[in-house]
Structure 1
Amino acid sequence: MTVHINTLFDEDAIAARVADLADAISESKPENLLVVAVLKGSFIFAADLVRAMHRSGLTPEMEFMHLSSYGAGTEGSENIRVLRDVESDVNGRDIILVDDILESGRTLSFAKERLLKRDAKSVRIVALLDKPERRKAAISADYVGFACPDKFVVGYGMDMGHAWRQLPFIGYVVPGEETGADTENEGD
């Protein structure tokens, strides 16, 4: 079966928005900045964002948290497991917590609280995509790339059952066509 993925945000739109986000973060004048990417979905976004931050005059350090709440399915779980934690001392530091998508908010709420308990000076959230209608936790992003419709998205680091992360755009899976070996990109 062929998977049909329609383009939601193309490469140019993503690149422009990432540059805007980096400029906005730079304007906030963070001190002793540590960027913490939530793995796995944010890895491409986080890499592009820190490069754009560099062009905006920031010199952040980079760290990673690997939190699991999804598994191979499409629905989030209330159980969050720490698979890899931040190794750097966060005490007194401004932190930008980067994630691919803010849906239920459980994972980012968990990560933010974890960093604040370690005496981070501040923890601001940047989410590439925001789905507020799916929110379960009382949290919002300080910086948002795009409002996301209530569709299952893939590409630009985001996956479906560990596939489609490599796509250079963000697309959505056409309902009823969710498994297969081939991808057809149908622009919207």
Structure 2
Amino acid sequence: MMDTQQARAMLADADLIHSEQAVQAALDKVADEIRQRLAESYPLVLCVMTGGVVFCGQLLAKLDFPLDFDYLHATRYGPETQGGKISWRTAPWTPVKDRTVLVVDDILDEGVTLAAVKESLLRMGASEVLTAVFADKLNGRNKPLAADFVGLAVPDRFVFGYGMDAGGAWRNLPAIYAKKEAA
């Protein structure tokens, strides 16, 4: 974890990738798309901790239809990441059986963990699992899934803000930044 001075210096040296206005416009767009797709299904919305909390919290306030809410915390572990195995730090408390589930996360980077979460929820009996990510990293990799709802694309750089942290700091920023690239 970095100290206050280090965190402030990193932000001062970072590149702005998406402004607060662009973030809010993308949030509105995703909320509209989700509303059109899920308004009649009474979905279960699952926030992926910890990165998804900012996006999910602001998104929920824009979804004007009945839904249930819960969270999950899952991580890949050990040498078995190729198989998509995940370790549940906290599984959802709300039953997913026969439900339409919307999993909300901050960023789709490689997609392995989110794909494994989706697969696990389907095994738990969810009738449908959709995914919403605020940022989709354009890293050129063949990802195991494409998110159903995407806020913004981000470059293949270390990004932070709007739920994404840098050394534990700056999840709370209303815009998205990238660390300076080495010259």
Q: Give the alignment's TM-score, normalised by structure 2.
A: 0.83
The 8 Å contact of residues 105 and 135 in structure 1, kept in 2 or not, is answered as: no
What is residue 144 of structure 2 aligned with on the other side? Answer: 138
Q: Deviation at 1:133? A: 2.8
Paired residue type of 2:49: L
Q: Separation in 2 of the partners of 1:83 and 1:46?
A: 19
Query: How many matched pairs?
Result: 168
What's the CA shift string for 1:27-46, capped at 9, x where partnerless? 11351211111111110000
Cα distance in 2, alignment partners of residues 25 and 61 from structure 1? 14
**Cα distance 1:100–1:134, how it changes in 2: closer, same or farther (>3 A)?**
farther
Report Cα offsets for 1:100-150 as digits up to 9, x if no partner: 111111110111011101111111111111125354542111111111111
Aligned position for 1:61? 68
**Where in structure 2 are the equivalents of 1:117-136 lying within 5 Å?**
117-133=123-139, 135=141
Alignment of 1:9-48 (within 5 A): 9-29=18-38, 30-48=40-58
From the superposition, tell whether residues 80 and 63 of structure 1 become closer, same or farther in structure 2 (CA, over 3 Å): same
Kindly indicate whether residue 179 of structure 2 is the aligned counterpart of residue 173 of structure 1: yes
Instruction: Work out which structure has the larger RCO, using CA pairs closer than 8 Å and 6 or more positions apart in sequence.
Output: 1
Given that residues 138 and 156 in structure 2 are in contact (C-alpha distance below 8 angstroms), is that contact kept between their aligned partners in structure 1?
Answer: no
For the residues of structure 2 that align with 1:19 and 1:64, how far apart are their CA atoms? 22
Aligned equivalent of 1:106: 112
SS state at 1:88 partner: coil
In the alignment, structure 1 residue 150 sits paired with structure 2 residue 160: no
Stretches of structure 1 that go unaligned for 5 or more consecutive residues are 71-76, 177-188
What is the root-mean-square deviation of aligned Cα atoms in Å?
A: 2.1
Q: Which amino acid is 2:107 matched to?
A: I
Distance in structure 2 (CA, Å) of the matches to 1:148 and 1:82: 27
Distance 2:21 2:45 in 1: 24
Q: Deviations over 1:155-183 (max 9, x none)?
A: 1111122111121211111135xxxxxxx
Question: As a proportion of its length, which structure holds more helix?
Answer: 2
Contact 2:96 2:126 in 1 (8 A): yes
SS at match of 2:27: helix
Tell me which residue corresponds to 2:91: 85
Q: CA shift at 1:21, angstroms?
A: 0.8
Q: Which residue of 1 aligns with 2:3?
A: none
